[in-house]
């Protein structure tokens, strides 16, 4: 069937007829009644079945003529027919999530209802519950927008789409998995151009900023941002790239996905369908005469070897590795098959970082006063108000340690990566103590972080007396 014929059928669409069937039935069966002539004209994207015919006969009490139309046209007609249904629910959920600066939306079938939770400042909280039938329609609508097969419910699927709210565009990455009560949906919100990546936004002290600036001034070498998932590693690299960005150098990134657009930087997305992964993407980038390269993540031996080779041959390479400590960065690279001397020769710096929730400035209150080193310090506790959605916390700040691996360090320490771990622990504790003194975290948050990270708390026991 050609485009003109398709348009003819769509233009004759009678919404009073089309809306007599349930949207879920239309989506699941890829069928939609169009209009009535001598018979009822029904479009479908697959071979007609007796079951569909029987159902439509019962609803319309009419003879039926089926016409085959492309699947994407069927979905387009269904969306046109039922536009407005569930729009308010979808937009309301997304708007509330964005207003709260949520990173993810979780929609979880739990038997008789579906629970919707937002991840804000690294913590999930329940936002609302909806009925199963509302969720089924909402899920189908989101799947269509994300170009995901709405009939496939037995295997995980990924997709993406974008929305515009208040004249700002947001990219949404969706992921579905089959669970015992249906399909769970997670939406990752990418704020793109809305966020400003700058060195000042990283919450580093003057000494740490000077360390990063020294690392950024180097013309070649490998710099690694390390920490668990969601610890702000990409934000750190974006801020560094934005700081060094100028017309005299060629900066190219390889990302999965591109989270924000930085003018003047060449940004490349991974594309598995086009066989562009980190390894072969990096090979192609190296043919583009780059000065500085950012590789979203080093995951395998091939990517690691190419990145280190580039760092040793005059390029500055920035990347991330999922690990807890600088020593683990070294061990991860060794596990990938990279020779020890290459790691030692190529690495010029590592930032080990975490994100910690900070208290809401509107409602935090002083819980006690302490005298530490002849200095009076106010310690705060959380309360909760409208501003922070009654959590007592609003936003997160980075706790970090930065290691410069220069010739002096290499000369002093024979086991450089073991020694760096000790330095790393001290600096991270100093960074954490600074937040406590500023009133950004509670004494309990302070202690929990130390315990969770396995840091040496002996020098800070004075706060817990």
At 417 the pLDDT is: 63
Q: Judge if 308 and 427 occupy the same domain.
A: yes
Q: How far apart are CA 393 and CA 137, in angstroms?
A: 34
**Residue 219 and residue 253 in one domain:** yes
Instruction: Report residue 186: phi and psi, to 5°.
Output: -125, 130
Q: Residues near 85 by Cβ (< 8 Å), separated by ≥ 6?
A: 23, 137
pLDDT of 211 reads: 95
Do 75 and 104 reside in the same domain of the chain?
no
The range of the structural domain enclosing residue 55 comes to 3-82
* CATH number, position 378: 3.40.50.300
Measured distance CA(340)–CA(344) in Å, rounded: 6
**Whether residue 346 sits in one domain with residue 245:** yes
pLDDT for 284? 94
- What's the CATH number where 142 sits? 3.30.450.90
Q: Tell me, what CATH number does 20's domain have?
A: 3.30.300
Residue 1, pLDDT score: 44
22 and 135 assigned to the same domain: no
Residues 330 and 346 sit within 8 Å (Cβ to Cβ): no
The sign of the dihedral angle between the CA atoms of 224, 226, 230, 231 is: negative
Give the end of a domain, one of 82, 110, 144: 82
Distance from C-alpha of 140 to C-alpha of 128, rounded to nearest angstrom: 19
Give yes or no for a contact between 27 and 78, defined as CB atoms under 8 angstroms apart.
Answer: yes
What's the confidence (pLDDT) of residue 168? 87
| DSSP category for residue 239 | H
Residues in the chain with pLDDT < 70? 1-11, 83-87, 192-196, 411-419, 421-423, 459-460, 462, 464-465
What CA–CA distance (Å, rounded) separates 199 from 178?
Answer: 41
- Burial environment of residue 273 by CB neighbours within 10 A (0 to 12, 13 to 18, 19 or more): exposed
Residue that is written with structure tokens 């910690």 in the block: 356
Domain stops at, among 27, 61, 82 = 82
pLDDT, residue 456, reads 74
Instruction: Give the residue from 162, 193, 224 where a domain finishes.
Output: 193
Together in a domain, 44 and 182: no
Q: What is the dihedral of CA 416, 417, 419, 423, to 10 degrees?
A: 120
Distance CA 398, CA 356 (A): 6
Considering the domain architecture, whether residues 57 and 176 belong to the same structural domain is answered as: no
The tally of domains found in the chain comes to 3
pTM (2 d.p.): 0.77
- Give yes or no for a contact between 220 and 318, defined as CB atoms under 8 angstroms apart: no
């Amino acid at each position: 069937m050609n485009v003109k014929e398709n348009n003819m059928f769509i233009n004759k669409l009678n919404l009073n007829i089309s809306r007599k069937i349930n949207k879920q039935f239309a989506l699941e069966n890829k069928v939609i009644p169009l209009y009535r002539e001598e018979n009822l004209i029904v479009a479908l994207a697959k071979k007609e079945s007796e079951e569909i015919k029987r159902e439509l006969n019962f609803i319309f009490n009419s003879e039926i003529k089926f016409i085959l139309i492309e699947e994407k046209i069927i979905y387009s007609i269904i969306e046109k027919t039922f536009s407005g249904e569930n729009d308010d629910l979808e937009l309301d959920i997304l708007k509330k999530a964005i207003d709260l600066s949520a990173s993810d939306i979780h929609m979880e079938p739990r038997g008789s209802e579906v629970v919707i939770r937002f991840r804000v400042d690294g913590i999930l909280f329940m936002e609302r519950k909806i009925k199963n039938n509302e969720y089924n329609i909402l899920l189908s609508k989101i799947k269509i927008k994300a170009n995901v097969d709405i009939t496939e419910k037995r295997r995980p699927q990924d997709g993406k789409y974008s929305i515009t709210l208040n004249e700002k565009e947001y990219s949404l990455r969706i992921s579905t998995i089959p669970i015992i009560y249906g399909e769970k949906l997670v939406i990752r919100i990418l704020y793109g151009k809305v966020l400003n990546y700058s060195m000042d936004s990283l919450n580093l002290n003057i000494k740490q900023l000077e360390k990063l600036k020294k690392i950024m001034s180097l013309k070649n070498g490998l710099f690694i941002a390390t920490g668990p998932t969601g610890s702000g590693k990409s934000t750190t690299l974006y801020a560094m790239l934005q700081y060094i960005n100028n017309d005299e150098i060629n900066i190219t990134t390889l990302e999965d996905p591109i989270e924000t657009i930085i003018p003047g930087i060449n940004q490349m997305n991974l594309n598995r369908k086009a066989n562009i992964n980190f390894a072969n993407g990096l090979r192609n980038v190296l043919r583009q005469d780059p000065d500085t390269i950012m590789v979203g993540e080093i995951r395998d031996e091939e990517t690691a070897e190419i990145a280190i080779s580039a760092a040793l041959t005059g390029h500055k390479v920035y990347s991330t590795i999922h690990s807890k400590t600088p020593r683990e960065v070294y061990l991860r690279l060794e596990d990938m098959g990279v020779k020890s001397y290459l790691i030692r020769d190529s690495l010029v710096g590592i930032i080990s970082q975490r994100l910690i929730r900070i208290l809401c400035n509107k409602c935090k209150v002083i819980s006690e006063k302490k005298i530490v080193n002849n200095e009076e310090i106010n310690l705060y506790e959380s309360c909760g108000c409208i501003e922070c959605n009654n959590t007592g916390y609003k936003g997160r700040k980075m706790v970090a340690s930065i290691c410069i691996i220069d010739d002096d360090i290499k000369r002093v320490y024979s086991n450089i990566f073991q020694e760096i771990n000790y330095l790393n622990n001290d600096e991270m504790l100093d960074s954490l103590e600074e937040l406590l003194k500023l009133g950004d975290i509670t004494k309990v948050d302070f202690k929990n972080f130390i315990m969770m990270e396995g840091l040496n708390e002996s020098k800070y026991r004075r706060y817990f007396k």
